[in-house]
Structure 1
Amino acid sequence: MRRFRWWWGALVLACVAVLVGFFVFSGPGSKNGLPLPRKGPPGTGPLTVVAIGDSTVSGEGAGHYTPDTDGRNGDWCHRSADAFVQKVRIPGVTARVNLACSGAPAEQVALGGVKQWGEPSQAQQLAAVVKNHRVAAVVIAVGANDDPQFSAQVSACFKAWFTAGAPSCSSALRTTWKSKVDAMVPKVVNAVGDVKKVLAQAGYVPADYQLVLQSYATPVAPDIPANLQNLNGCPFRTDDLQWISTTGITTLSAGLKQAAVQSGARFLDLARAGEHHEACSGGPDPASEWFTRLTLHLNDLGQADRAQHALQESFHPNAAGHAAIADCLSEFLAVRDGNATCLAGPDGNLHAVPEILSR
């Protein structure tokens, strides 16, 4: 009997040792000896989506700007309550932060001393956000205000409309546009890299959040009514409209996709997002349009500090456009991997069509 009890005791001790070893090496928070992935981003605070970039993100053209970004103390970032980040739907996300600023170049998104309308680096502002928010997604749109100077090109096309005998604005851009976009790419890559750096320094790993770089939607199209190719709507020549909506926007999108690949971000292509909803496409009824027409705030002309911004909203997504983009972005973020293109579906709404299906 004593011999049996001795072996029984040895067996019990052996089992205890095995169980202790199991909990030591596997632990309650691991599987097959490997740590289980944590659920969501680190830190405390509400689960949050953050928007970073320039006017197409800030909400320029959508109206309802926050008072502090509508000229107060020289700040013209024009962040709108109707910007797409305020409308995007992500399960569990309860907070939305818009750091974008109208006219921002990639250098102001990146870490450093470059300011836009007096505001510091957006990546630096993100570092403050992560102290009391758990960032689930960062959506970036930037680059058009760097070497391409897309807004300046649109202005040049606008000026060309006034002088019928002069060359169209696109005639010169045909030979320089690709090189301008190529020069933009490394600046965008650097900016996206600094956003990732800020999150890494806050303890984030890539699996904790989604990082999206999106392109720009075409604001105008060549088939608008002739009676609106003037100061009543869209004062552009037809050949310039054709260039903007094809070569101009597609080359810019291709450059941004290249930047997304190099920086490890997902890419959402908006180049065709505004098809049939461009500025002036609605003819006498602009209700179906997702972009502002030529917009002049006459009241601002009487104030010296506001007069130079009286045209700032022109040819940007309006509130309806931002709502449409938010629909597409919401679908895109729900998938969590791969690239996509925003295209209108049979229901008339924008949908995120996976890249492999949209070629």
Structure 2
Amino acid sequence: MSRFRRTVLSTLLAVTSAALSTAVALPAPAAAALPTAAVALGDSFISGEGAGAYSPVVDVDGVAQSFPGWSAPNSNAYFCHRSPNASLNRADLPGITDRFNLACSGGQPYDIANASATRANGRQVTAQLDQLRAVARTHDIDLVLVGLGSNNSSFTFGKVAEECANRFIADAWTGWWEFWAYLGGPVEQDPCTDDDLATAAQMSAATAETTAAVRQLLTTLDEIDADGQHRVVFQDYTDPLPPEIASNFWTEDSRDDTRDKFRALGAERYAAGCPIHRASLGTGQRFAQRLGTLVGSVRATMAAEFPAADLVYVNVQRAFDGARLCEQSGSPTGALATPIRSMDGPSGVFVTSLAGYDKLDIQRIANTCGTYFQTCQESWHPNAAGHGVLARCLTGAAATSARTVTCVRAPDGTVTVS
């Protein structure tokens, strides 16, 4: 065979081999799909405050903080109180592989984009958006549960609860003349009014803060979500107390809460979990409604700014109907919220009855709560059963085609989302 023919043949074989190789080449394997995630952001009603069995929380230094003791600084990351009993962990969420609770008890809109540790009375945790970005590196985020609004730079749920409870306790244990004789002047003992909890201006400021934080959240989600498909559920708040308490809590020793000093009644309501004036109950209901208006307003504003976003508002103001504190005569048994409880010093032992305590004892117990907030921070939050109900609310909100839904508990305990 001539050199020419050998050269031509070699060339043809090379071309044919290359062509065949090209024809049968397989495409590069597609990147493996990321596992899906549901994430919780926000404050105590989302983190699981009151539900117990709290998990260690990683602090700003990357150290997982377990329970540090009752006398530890309340800024410790552990006191974010993230519970495996929180609604996110118990909701029925088909298609979700993993769940991440990034919420923190006491969380404010500031904490979404900023380290909570950098504000006054914040906890030693990084920005919730930074924690969310870490989740997005390993997961496809499909659902985000957000609870914001009850804490902000104008007012906080803890202070609101403290305001009304302290007025009742002061009224129950100390007569007006004792304040003048021993304290040099009056101490507030009247029932709470709407403006005592949050003025219209404060609500407006809180709405603006919350809107700005959620705007940052939605912008971040658009940047980091693997497929750009995610539902954001905005949950509002339920009042732990009813519109009216059971009649057996109205009087004790023939004294009601409109009298000057009514210690037996004060002790009875504290034991039942509702140390508050009956005249303050309507104020609390309206406060919850105003927070609902705030959350609904934020969702509506964001829907206009992010028209392609999948945003759902779930109203849970009636989720505890029939099972709020002191709504039934056996309270706190059967209630879906935790009673107000504190300690006499950071001992780990909760005071469940104030019978026999005098005003100096009461002041000492109140001071324990003020100095070591963890001794009382679970008060008036959904308990484990309450978070179970909120989980059913979330289940419905995750599956609905509506943009706004209401979660209601019927007298027989049935929960519906519609």
The two structures share one fold, judged by TM-score above 0.5: yes
The Cα offsets for residues 321-355 of structure 1, whole Å up to 9 and x where unpaired, read as 001111121012111441101112475222212xx
TM-score, normalising length: structure 1: 0.78
Is residue 116–residue 124 contact of structure 2 (8 Å, CA) maintained in 1? no
Alignment of 1:162-181 (within 5 A): 162-164=169-171, 166-171=188-193, 173=195, 176-181=198-203
Rate the CA distance shift 1:325–1:172 in 2: closer, same or farther, 3 A.
Answer: closer
Match of 2:386, SS? Answer: helix
Aligned to 2:314: 268
Separation in 2, partners of 1:193, 1:240: 34
Is residue 140–residue 225 contact of structure 2 (8 Å, CA) maintained in 1? no
Per-residue deviation, 1:203: 4.7
Aligned to 2:34: 45
Match of 2:52, SS? Answer: coil
Per-residue deviation, 1:308: 3.2
Alignment of 1:85-164 (within 5 A): 85-109=88-112, 111-115=113-117, 116-146=122-152, 147-164=154-171
Aligned to 1:340: 405
Aligned to 2:293: 254
Match of 2:209, SS? Answer: helix
The Cα offsets for residues 186-214 of structure 1, whole Å up to 9 and x where unpaired, read as 111111112212221125576x0101111
Per-residue deviation, 1:177: 2.7
Separation in 2, partners of 1:153, 1:169: 12
Aligned to 2:327: 281
Identity of aligned residues (%): 25
User: Is 1:237 matched up with 2:244?
Assistant: no
Per-residue deviation, 1:44: 4.1
Aligned to 2:237: 216
Is residue 43–residue 132 contact of structure 1 (8 Å, CA) maintained in 2? no
Separation in 2, partners of 1:43, 1:262: 36
Is residue 44–residue 132 contact of structure 1 (8 Å, CA) maintained in 2? no
Rate the CA distance shift 1:202–1:98 in 2: closer, same or farther, 3 A.
Answer: same
Rate the CA distance shift 1:261–1:44 in 2: closer, same or farther, 3 A.
Answer: same
Rate the CA distance shift 1:77–1:113 in 2: closer, same or farther, 3 A.
Answer: closer
Is residue 239–residue 317 contact of structure 2 (8 Å, CA) maintained in 1? yes
Separation in 1, partners of 2:108, 2:217: 14
Unaligned runs of 5+ in 1: 1-41, 354-359
Is residue 47–residue 102 contact of structure 2 (8 Å, CA) maintained in 1? yes
Rate the CA distance shift 1:148–1:86 in 2: closer, same or farther, 3 A.
Answer: same
The Cα offsets for residues 262-314 of structure 1, whole Å up to 9 and x where unpaired, read as 12232111112111111232332534211001123568437999943111110
Separation in 2, partners of 1:43, 1:213: 31
Tell me how large the CA RMSD over aligned residues is. Answer: 2.7
Match of 1:316, SS? Answer: coil
Separation in 1, partners of 2:326, 2:160: 19
Is residue 273–residue 343 contact of structure 1 (8 Å, CA) maintained in 2? yes
The structure 2 residue matched to 1:325, chosen from 390, 395, 398, is 390
Q: Which moved more, 1:278-287 or 1:248-257?
A: 278-287
Match of 1:168, SS? Answer: coil
Match of 1:103, SS? Answer: coil
Match of 2:234, SS? Answer: strand
Per-residue deviation, 1:132: 0.5
Q: Which amino acid aligns with 1:314?
A: S
Q: Which amino acid aligns with 1:325?
A: L
Match of 2:317, SS? Answer: coil
Q: Which amino acid aligns with 1:296?
A: S
Aligned to 1:15: none
Is residue 215–residue 271 contact of structure 1 (8 Å, CA) maintained in 2? yes
Rate the CA distance shift 1:43–1:213 in 2: closer, same or farther, 3 A.
Answer: farther
Unaligned runs of 5+ in 2: 1-30, 58-64, 177-187, 251-264, 304-310, 350-367
The Cα offsets for residues 153-211 of structure 1, whole Å up to 9 and x where unpaired, read as 110101101233545352362695322211111111111112212221125576x0101
Aligned to 1:193: 215
Match of 1:50, SS? Answer: strand
User: Is 1:67 matched up with 2:56?
Assistant: yes
Separation in 2, partners of 1:249, 1:48: 30
Is residue 185–residue 259 contact of structure 1 (8 Å, CA) maintained in 2? yes
Separation in 1, partners of 2:132, 2:159: 28
Q: Which amino acid aligns with 2:383?
A: N
Separation in 2, partners of 1:311, 1:90: 32
Rate the CA distance shift 1:336–1:61 in 2: closer, same or farther, 3 A.
Answer: same
Larger gyration radius, structure 1 or structure 2: 2
The Cα offsets for residues 54-79 of structure 1, whole Å up to 9 and x where unpaired, read as 00011000111013465448221000
Separation in 2, partners of 1:174, 1:163: 16
Separation in 2, partners of 1:55, 1:232: 22
TM-score, normalising length: structure 2: 0.68
